[in-house]
Structure 1
Amino acid sequence: MKQRWVSIAVLAAALFAINVVARLVTRFAFPDNDSAENKVSIVMFAVVGLVLAVVAYRWAQRVRLGTWLPELAAAAAGAMLLTILVGPFVSGDYPFSGGAGNFFSQVWLYGGFAIVGTLLGYWVATALGRDYRSKSLKAFTIAKTTKPRRIVRR
C-alpha cells in the first residue's frame, strides 16, 4: 500500500516540477511578455499531457485499468492543485491575482490535457495489444489451444 502512494507522490511531484520550470522560464526569460507566457503555458500543458501518456502506456502494460487509473488520476489532481495553488508563488504572483477566469481556465486546460494524454497512452497500449487485458486474453487463448483434448469414455 505504501508503494502505491509513493508512485502517486513521485508522479505528482514530477508534473509539478514541469510547471515550476515553465514558470521560471517565463519569469526570467520573458518578463512582462504575455504572448510568450501563453505559449510557454501551452507547451507546459502539452508536456504534462505527454508525460501522462507515457506513464499511462507503461502502467497499462503491468496492471489492470481499475488499479492504475485511480492512481494516475490522483497524481494528476494533486499536481493540478499544486500547480494552481502553489505554482503562482514561484513566479512571484498569487493564485487568484489573474482573476477567477484565469484560475478556472488553468483548471480546465490542465484537466483537458491530463485526460487526453492519459487516453492517448492507454489507447496506444490497447491498439498495440500491449495492455494488461490484451496480454491476459492472449495467454488464455494460448492455454486453451495448447491444452490436450480430453478423451470421453462411454
Structure 2
Amino acid sequence: MRQRWVPVAVLAAGLFAINVIARLVIRIGFADNETAEGRVSIIMFAAIGIVLAVVTFIRAQRVPPSSWLPELAAAAIGGMLLTILVGPFVSGDTPFSAGAGNFFSQVWLYSGFAIVGTLLGYWIATMLGRDYRSRSLQAFAKARTTRPRRVVRR
C-alpha cells in the first residue's frame, strides 16, 4: 500500500518544486515588477499543466484511467495545497496576505491548468491510439484476425 503513494508524493513534491522555483525567481529577479510577477506565475501554472500532461500521457499508455486518475488527482491536489498554503512562506508572505480574492484566484488557476493539462495528455494519448483501451482493442483485433477460422461440419 505504501508503494502506491510514493509516486503520488513525488509528483506532488515536483509540482510544489515548480512553484518554489517560480517564487524564488520572482523574489530574486522581479521583486517590484507586477507585470513580470504575473508572467512568471502564468509560466509556472503552464509548467504545472505540461508536467501533468506528460505524466498523464505516460500513465494512460500503461494502465486504465481508473488506476491513474485518482493518483494523479491526489498528487495535483497535494501539490496545490502545498503551493497555496506553504508556497507563500518561500516569498516571505502568508497565504492570505494578498487577500482572499488572490488566494482563491490561485486555487482556480491551479485547478484549471491541472485539469486542462491532464485532459490534453489523455486526449493526445487517445488521439494517437496509445491509451490503454485503444491498445487493448488493437491487441484483441490482432488476435482475432490471426486465429484460423473454425470449420463447421454439417
TM bracket (short chain): over 0.9
Instruction: Report the Cα distance in structure 2 between the residues aligned to 1:90 and 1:124, rounded to whole angstroms.
Output: 35
1:148: how far off? 1.2
User: How many residues are matched?
Assistant: 154
1:147 to 2:151 alignment: no
1:43: how far off? 0.4
Give 2:116's aligned residue. 116
Give 1:99's aligned residue. 99
Instruction: Report the Cα distance in structure 1 between the residues aligned to 2:105 and 2:120, rounded to whole angstroms.
Output: 22
1:127 to 2:127 alignment: yes
Instruction: Report the Cα distance in structure 1 between the residues aligned to 2:98 and 2:37, rounded to whole angstroms.
Output: 13
1:153: how far off? 2.5
Instruction: Name stretches of at least 5 consecutive residues in structure 2 with no aligned partner.
Output: none
- The SS at the match of 1:45 is helix
1:3: how far off? 2.3
1:116: how far off? 0.4
Instruction: Name stretches of at least 5 consecutive residues in structure 1 with no aligned partner.
Output: none
Q: What aligned pairs does 1:1-150 form with structure 2 within 5 A after superposition?
A: 1-150=1-150
> What one-letter code is carried by the residue in structure 2 that aligns with 1:128?
L
Instruction: Report the Cα distance in structure 2 between the residues aligned to 1:39 and 1:98, rounded to whole angstroms.
Output: 17
Instruction: Report the Cα distance in structure 2 between the residues aligned to 1:100 and 1:7, rounded to whole angstroms.
Output: 32
Stretch of structure 1 that moved more, 29-38 or 111-120 = 29-38
Q: Scaled by the length of structure 2, what TM-score is found?
A: 0.98
- The SS at the match of 1:150 is coil
- The SS at the match of 1:151 is coil
1:149: how far off? 1.1
Runs of 4+ in structure 1 deviating by more than 4 angstroms, as ranges, are none
1:152: how far off? 1.8
> What one-letter code is carried by the residue in structure 1 that aligns with 2:149?
R
> What one-letter code is carried by the residue in structure 1 that aligns with 2:79?
A
> What one-letter code is carried by the residue in structure 2 that aligns with 1:38?
G
Instruction: Report the Cα distance in structure 1 between the residues aligned to 2:16 and 2:22, rounded to whole angstroms.
Output: 10
Instruction: Report the Cα distance in structure 1 between the residues aligned to 2:25 and 2:146, rounded to whole angstroms.
Output: 58
1:36: how far off? 1.1
Note the alpha carbon deviations across 1:73-121, whole angstroms, 9 max, x for none: 1000000000000000000000000101000000000000000000001
Q: What root-mean-square deviation, in Å, do the aligned CA atoms of Structure 1 and Structure 2 show? A: 0.7
